[in-house]
Structures are given as C-alpha cells and as structure tokens.
Chain A
Amino acid sequence: AQSVAQPEDQVNVAEGNPLTVKCTYSVSGNPYLFWYVQYPNRGLQFLLKYITGDNLVKGSYGFEAEFNKSQTSFHLKKPSALVSDSALYFCAVRALNSGNTPLVFGKGTRLSVIA
C-alpha cells in the first residue's frame, strides 16, 4: 500500500526566510513523487515531480524538493519565502512501475508567509 505523511498541518515563516514543508512516503519499489499547491477554492496546481536522477528537483515559482531515499522523504523547500507563497501544499506518491494507478495524496500543509 502507498501512503504519504505530511507531519505539519501548518507552517509559518517570515517573508524572505527559507521555508521547508515536510513529506515522508511509503511505497513498494521506487517512488514517483509530486508536490502540488492549492489556492482557496481552486484545483491543485503542479509544482514539481521526482522520478529518477538528481535528488534535488527544481520546480515552478522557485520551489525545489530534495529526495532522500534512505529517509523516504521528499521535503519541499524555497530559499526565500514570499507572501504570495501562502497556500495549501500537498505531497503525492505512487509506485513508479504501477502503471497509471491514481496518486495518493497527503493531508496537506498550510503555509503562511508573514510580511
């Protein structure tokens, strides 16, 4: 079975400071990992994904994520937070060789960037 844990319901950070949103996963075999962002009353927007290759993945809006196989983690990071980054962030996973089975999503982490 596949699962995702986002241990923090809420992350608060001051504008200009670095931010980290945590994600750990459980999957049989190699993972296919995603981060999505959601603004109020909207669908989810893709930020970045990891399949294979470099452990540091760069995505949209200056976000990046670090894949750590030994810790089964895929934390989302940004060097300098903006107020406009305030939103709900979801981590998602499925097994890489599971065909087109649906992604399993975490419960989400609300990021609040304070000016």
Chain B
Amino acid sequence: DGGITQSPKYLFRKEGQNVTLSCEQNLNHDAMYWYRQDPGQGLRLIYYSQIVNDFQKGDIAEGYSVSREKKESFPLTVTSAQKNPTAFYLCASPPLTGPVDYGYTFGSGTRLTVV
C-alpha cells in the first residue's frame, strides 16, 4: 500500500542536541510538507518542498532545517536553535496535480520530547 512512513514514533532530545526526523513516501508524489502540532494551536507549517532539490520555509522555520535529495525522502532536522521543540511532528504529501479526491496523505507522526 502506498503511504507515508515517519520514524521514529517517539524521540527524546537532550538540550543542545540536533535530532533528525525521517519521512519517506512511496506515493510518487512531488510535494512533501512538514507540520508541527501543539495543543490548541493546530498545525503550523515548518518547511515544504514542491520538487526534488527545492524547498521553502513555512511559517515557523526558525530552528529547523530540511533536505530533499530524493523524491521519496524529506527529513527534518530539529536543531539546538529551536528553543521549544517538544511537539508532535507530521509529514504530509498532496496528490499529483489533477483531480484531487482524497486530499493530503499524512504520516502517523513523531512525538519529540526534550529531556
């Protein structure tokens, strides 16, 4: 089945550490997005990539970095510059352009906690 795989499901980070969240898709979609979810704040866009080797900052990009070297992969690095990284992180991908029946496909998320 086609879908998005996020790993790990749970991640713990020490103060000052960089950590990388994985997002892999086998949907053959061009675009991939990273959202951050906090209680009461909904989903906020961190970074997005519409095509391989290209990406743009979203609304809350500070303290995060991404790469898009392969179509299937869009890893997110949470750097030590992100002062409040504890959150639930969701990777998503819209379908190919054309008739859109099912909206975005979302991964199951990674819960990051600072210890």
Contacts and interface: CB of A to CB of B under 8 A. Distances in A.
Interface of A: 6, 9, 34, 36, 41-46, 49, 51, 90, 100, 102-108
A43 B97 contact: no
Nearest to A32: B100
Contact of A100 (B50, B90, B109, B111): B50
Interface stretch (B12-20, B41-49, B61-69, B72-80): B41-49
B90 to A, nearest CB: 6
A49 B109 contact: no
Contacts of B6: 43
A103 B43 CA distance: 10
Interface of B: 4, 6, 31, 33, 35, 40-45, 48, 50, 58, 88, 90, 92, 94, 97, 100, 102-104, 106-109, 111
12 contacts: A36-B103, A41-B109, A43-B6, A43-B106, A44-B92, A46-B103, A90-B42, A100-B50, A100-B94, A102-B33, A102-B45, A102-B48
Contacts of B4: 43
Which 4 A/B pairs are nearest by Cβ-Cβ distance? A43-B106, A107-B42, A105-B43, A46-B103
DSSP majority for the A interface? Answer: loop
Nearest to A34: B103
A41 B108 CA distance: 7
A41 B62 CA distance: 25
B102 A107 contact: no
B42 A42 contact: no
B109 A107 contact: no
B33 A44 contact: no
